[in-house]
Amino acid sequence: MLILIILFGCEPKDNSDPLSDVPPDPCNDFSEEECNRSSECYPIYGRPITETDYGYCYDPDTIIEIEPEWLICQSTMSSITIETVAGPEDGSACYWFSNGTYPEGWIEDCSTTIGLQCEE
């Protein structure tokens, strides 16, 4: 009996990434027009945030006036209403999102500065 316990206790753990088996989102390949016509996909738009000497800066009172840019098509979308800033993991850009949905794989925050601290 003791031998069986030791054998089961010594089995190697599965350390594989559970997300590595997730198939790519089929909506990601859609153009903006195809995405807007699809009933199963959602277009993701974001307002670009300007990069300055202080990092990515935006004024919360005027960000809504910036024309949103189409970024990607996804099969998922947030159902909450929350303002979020996010960008690619490499820090190459930052966008403001009005509904909490941003492209998969992006990170929140973008090291943003808000309001008067952005003025040079």
> What pLDDT score was predicted for residue 5?
47
Asked if 82 and 99 count as a contact pair (C-beta separation under 8 A), the reply is yes
Residue 92, both tokens: 């190459």
Which residues have CB under 8 Å from 88's CB, separation 6+? Answer: 105, 106, 107
pLDDT value, residue 7 = 45
Give me the residue spans of the domains in the chain.
24-118
pLDDT (tens digit, 9 = 90+) per residue, 56-68? 888 888 889 999 9
Largest Cα separation within the chain, whole Å, is: 74
| 85: phi then psi, degrees, rounded to nearest 5 | -115, 140
What average pLDDT score do residues 37-44 get? 93
Residue 87: band (very low, low, confident or very high) from pLDDT cuts 50, 70, 90: very high
Higher pLDDT, 30 or 23: 30
pTM tops 0.75: no
**What pLDDT, on the 0 to 100 scale, is given for residue 67?**
94
Higher per-residue confidence, 22 vs 101: 101
Distance CA 88, CA 120 (A): 25
Q: Look at residue 3 and tell me whether its pLDDT is greater than 60.
A: no
End-to-end CA, the chain: 74
Per-chain mean pLDDT for the chain: 79
pLDDT at 36: 94
